[in-house]
Amino acid sequence: MEKYEGRAIFQRVAIGRIWYYTKEEQSIKRCRITDKEAEWQRYQRARQQAVEELKALYEKAQKEVGEVNAAIFEVHAMMLEDDDYNASVRNMIESQEVNAEYAVASTGDNFFRMFSEMEDDYFQARAADIRDISDRVVAVLSHREKKQDLGTEPVIIAAEDLAPSETVQMDKDRMLGFVTELGSANSHTAILARTMNIPALIGIPVKPEWNGRMAVIDGYHGILYLDPDDKTLEQMSRRQQEDKERARLLEQMKNQETVTRDGRKIHLYANIGNPADVASVLENDAEGIGLFRSEFLYLERESWPTEEEQFQSYKLAAEMMAGKKVIIRTLDIGADKQAAYFGLEHEENPAMGYRAIRICLEQPEIFRTQLRAIFRAGAYGRIAVMYPMITSVEEVRRIKQIAEEVQTELRRQGIPCGCAEQGIMIETPAAALISDLLAKEVDFFSIGTNDLSQYTLAIDRQNSRLDSFFDPHHPAILRLIRTVIENGHKEGCWVGICGELAADLELTEAFLDMGIDELSVAPGMVLAVREAVRKI
C-alpha cells in the first residue's frame, strides 16, 4: 500500500480504480503563412465556433450543477473576447507570419505562465482557464474534438490538472472522485467538485502508471491510498457507509421547519463567499443567506470593481434566492484580507488596524459605490445590508447618513432601489457592551463570533501556537452573546449569529436558551443544525 498526503477539497470518501486522464496532445507545428488577413479570419471563425461550444457546455452544466456554477463557461466565452488575448494572437500572425494554431498555442502558453507565476491563488487558478480556452480554439483549428470517455465502470480520475470544461464534460455518474497535482481550492474546478459532492484531493504527485490501480480518497484527512490493504479498505468502506447513512437521514430535514419540539421557530441561513455558493445554499435547503462576504469581489481582481459589476453579482444572488433573505456585508478588507491596489500600509497589528468600515468611512467614494450596487440589487429580491467592525454609535450614524444620501440619489436618478433592513456586525467587545445603544439605531444585529472571540480573549485565531489557549466556549464570550441578544430584543432588534460558533452543535441549545433568532452557517452544516434544533 502506498500513501500520499494532499489537500482535501470535499470531505467524503471515494473507493475505486484510478483512471489516469491524459490531455490530448496536440502537435502544433509552426508554419509560415503568406496571407496574414486570411489567417486572422480563420482564427476568428475558430474562435466563434469555440464560443458556440462553450454555450452548449453552459446549457449542459446548467442542468447538472446549476446556473451559478455554469457561469464559468460564460466567463470562458468572455475570455475569448479579451482584447489583450486577441491582440497577442493577431500580433503573432502578422509580425511573425505564423499559422493561427501556433499563434493561439503560444499566446495560451504565455498567458498561462504569467498567471501561474502570480502569488495570488485566484490568478493562479485562472491559469487553467486560459489553457483551456486556448486548447479549445486549437482543437477547432485542427478539426479535433475534445472528448472524454470514462468507460462503464465508475472511477477515480487522476490528472496533472483538470479544467472546468473537462470536469463538466465527464459523466458525473461515473466520477467517484478526482485527484490532481495542480490546482487550488479557489479554482472553478474545486467549486464544481464541492457543488457536485465529489471527493477531491489536490497536491498529489499523480503518475500515468497508476492507471487501473485500486485507490481510496480519504477526503477527511487529505490522504490518497494506492492499493489499500484490507484493514484500510474496511475502515474507509465503513466510513463511506456512515457518510451515506448520515446523508440519507439528514435528507429528511429538507423542507422541514427549523423549529424546536415546543414550537420555537429559528431562522436558519447560510454563509457564502460569492454567487457560486448559492447553488449549495439551495441544495442544502437554507432559508436564506445570513452572510454574503462581499469582499470576494475586491480580492479576486487587480482593480476596483465597478458599481455595475457589483450590482450584477448581488442581483444574481437575490434572484437565485427567489424572495428569501440575502444579507450582504459591506466591504471587510484589511487584516488577513489584502488587495494590493488598496495601497494599505504595513501595520504591526492589522487585525485591530485600518480595515472594514474604517476604510469605508475614510474613503467614502468606495463605500458609496458599493452601497449603490447593493441598494439597486435590493429592487430584485429581499436584500438586507450590514456593516462590519462597528465600535461606536457615531460610526453607525455616519453610515446611516451616507446610506440615506445614496438612496435619495438613486431615486432622484429614477433608478429602482431597495434594502429596507440595515444592521451591524457585533464582533468587538465595544459593540457588545454598548449594544443597548446600538440597538436604537439599526434593525438587526449579526454576531461575528470569529472576531468577537479573538478580541475578547486577546488571542490571534491564526496563531497555531495559541491553539491550546483558545477556548471558543469561554464564559466571557457566551456572556457577551447573551448580553447582545437581550439588549437587541429590548429595542426590537432581531439577533443572529454568523460566525463559526453558529454551527457548533454543542452550543445550539445554549443559543436557543439565550433567545437567538437566527443562525447562519456553512451550507453543508444547514441540515445538521436543523436536526439539532428540532430535537431541542
Q: Which residues are catalytic?
A: 188, 498
H-state helical runs in 363-418: 364-377, 393-412
| Spatial distance between the Cα atoms of 286 and 272, rounded to a whole number of angstroms | 11
CB contact at 8 A, 188 and 72: yes
| Spatial distance between the Cα atoms of 452 and 499, rounded to a whole number of angstroms | 9
Nearest alpha carbon to residue 334 among 369, 317, 316, 358 = 358
| Spatial distance between the Cα atoms of 15 and 227, rounded to a whole number of angstroms | 11
How does strand 267-272 pair with strand 383-387? unpaired
Q: How would you write 279-336 as a 3-class SS string?
A: HHHHHCCCCEEEEEECCHHHHCCCCCCCHHHHHHHHHHHHHHHCCCEEEEECCCCECC
| Spatial distance between the Cα atoms of 33 and 443, rounded to a whole number of angstroms | 68
Nearest alpha carbon to residue 29 among 107, 112, 94, 99 = 99
Nearest alpha carbon to residue 186 among 290, 301, 304 = 301
- Rounded to 5°, angle at Cα 180 from 178 and 181: 165
Question: Whole-angstrom distance between the N-terminal and C-terminal Cα of the chain?
Answer: 46
- Please tell me the total number of residues recorded for the chain in this structure: 536
Nearest alpha carbon to residue 392 among 443, 439, 430 = 430
Q: Which three cell numbers stand for residue 481?
A: 452573546
Residues pairing with 396 in the sheet: none
CB contact at 8 A, 290 and 446: yes
Q: Cite the beta strand spans of 184-318 per DSSP E.
A: 200-202, 214-218, 223-226, 267-272, 288-293
What residues contact residue 393 under an 8 Å CB cut-off, 6+ apart? 434, 437, 438, 441
CB contact at 8 A, 338 and 344: yes
Burial class from Cβ neighbours inside 10 Å (0-12, 13-18, 19+) for residue 365 reads exposed
